[in-house]
């Protein structure tokens, strides 16, 4: 069996026994699903980001919020009201891994060679997904809103919303986590002029109560479901990266398009370069767990691999060959422009569900 980028085509449908456990990568899933709404990145800019080298930035132009002068005196003294423009660029991140495979090692082994390769591919792509998840969580933390008003207006009875200005976190007490939580959150964001469709990513089982509320109301019931403001289940994500601590849940509420991912493919991978048993390519499909197409490099070399055997000299390994595959995810994390996170409400909200 030779290593090749097309192996990922078959990987999706292979079932196997593996001790490794795979937690939800909800932050990554949210960012990937949100990417389709990043319309502030033009198709031209997106293509440039797909192909740009690390020495070039793709600048995104923006018109800043304008203070317009309005008077009550008509005449030839006309306010200039000149707009102010700016531009911003995004950071490219690299997540890299791979593996070396020596087929001869399995000639005298109870483990099947092809099985071993596929299990390594699964474990490695998951570990890469975890690294991407961590990067995205860091970006959400850095881009979270530092201002939020009108929490008093959406608090009711013993259910309260409070924006903690010290931690920049919207704290929802236990009573407010009832079935109207999402409706009140929507009202809160509309009042802050950043309304729209929001997605929620929380620590594991963080929204279990809310999901139960959503599930128990069918079409024929006494509840007005529209009044509850319940989101689709597809908008609720869980992540093993987010730790609840002493809270019922911690996480983020993120408006569609507030974060996204744009992949980058360096020159030789785009060109499909082949040289002396080495091959550069781009995977035909998104890798599992990373949910992105990867830059794939494969290499074949002759070697003495006897050192891989724990004891004795395996004659299969004296003059043999190894194959290696590298997977390189290079991508930009994109987000909407905000000239001052400390004073202008942003559409990424850090949120915690309290236990009391």
Q: How far apart, in Å, are the Cα atoms of 68 and each of 78, 83, 207?
A: 12, 9, 43
What was the pLDDT predicted at 203? 97
What was the pLDDT predicted at 55? 87
pLDDT band at 16 (very low <50, low <70, confident <90, very high): very low
What was the pLDDT predicted at 101? 79
pLDDT band at 15 (very low <50, low <70, confident <90, very high): very low
Q: Is 189's pLDDT higher than 50? A: yes
What was the pLDDT predicted at 186? 95
Q: Is 351's pLDDT higher than 90? A: yes
In three-state secondary structure terms, 174 is: helix
pLDDT band at 138 (very low <50, low <70, confident <90, very high): very high
Q: Each residue of 209-253: pLDDT tens digit?
A: 888 877 776 666 666 666 667 788 889 999 999 999 999 999 999
Q: What angle, rounded to 10 degrees, do the helices at 26-34 and 113-143 form?
A: 70
pLDDT over 90, % of the chain: 66
Structure tokens at 313: 């000299």
What was the pLDDT predicted at 19? 66
95, β-bridge pairs = 329
Look at the pTM and tell me if it is higher than 0.75. Answer: yes
Average pLDDT, the chain: 88
> What's the burial of 88, exposed, middle or buried (CB within 10 Å: 0-12/13-18/19+)?
middle
333, β-bridge pairs = 261
Task: Enter the DSSP assignment of 178.
Answer: S
What was the pLDDT predicted at 91? 95
């Amino acid at each position: 069996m030779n290593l090749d980028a097309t192996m990922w085509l078959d990987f999706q449908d292979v079932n196997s026994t593996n001790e490794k456990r795979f937690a939800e990568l909800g932050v990554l899933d949210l960012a990937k699903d949100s990417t389709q709404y990043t319309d502030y990145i033009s198709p031209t800019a997106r293509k440039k980001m797909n192909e740009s080298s690390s020495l070039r930035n793709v600048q995104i132009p923006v018109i800043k919020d304008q203070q317009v002068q309005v008077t009550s005196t008509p005449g030839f003294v006309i306010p200039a009201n000149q707009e102010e423009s700016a531009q911003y660029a995004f950071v490219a991140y690299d997540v890299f891994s791979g593996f070396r495979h020596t087929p001869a090692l399995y000639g005298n082994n109870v483990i099947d060679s092809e099985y071993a390769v596929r299990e390594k591919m699964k474990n490695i792509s998951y570990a890469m997904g975890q690294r991407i998840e961590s990067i995205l969580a860091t970006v959400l933390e850095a881009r979270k809103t530092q201002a939020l008003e009108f929490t008093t207006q959406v608090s009711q009875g013993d259910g309260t919303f409070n924006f903690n200005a010290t931690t920049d976190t919207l704290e929802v007490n236990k009573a407010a986590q009832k079935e109207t939580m999402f409706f009140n959150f929507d009202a809160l964001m509309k009042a802050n002029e950043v309304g729209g469709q929001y997605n929620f990513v929380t620590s594991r089982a963080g929204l279990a109560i809310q999901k139960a509320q959503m599930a128990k109301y069918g079409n024929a019931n006494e509840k007005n479901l529209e009044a509850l403001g319940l989101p689709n289940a597809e908008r609720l994500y869980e992540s093993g990266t987010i730790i609840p601590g002493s809270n019922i849940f911690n996480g983020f509420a993120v408006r569609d398009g507030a974060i996204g991912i744009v992949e980058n493919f360096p020159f030789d991978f785009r060109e499909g370069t082949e040289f002396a048993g080495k091959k550069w390519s781009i995977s035909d499909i998104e890798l599992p767990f990373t949910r992105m197409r990867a830059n794939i490099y494969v290499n074949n070399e002759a070697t003495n691999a006897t050192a891989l055997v724990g004891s004795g000299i395996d004659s299969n390994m004296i003059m043999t060959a190894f194959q290696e595959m590298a997977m390189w995810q290079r991508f930009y994390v994109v987000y909407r422009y905000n000239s001052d996170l400390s004073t202008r409400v942003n559409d990424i909200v850090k949120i915690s569900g309290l236990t009391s």
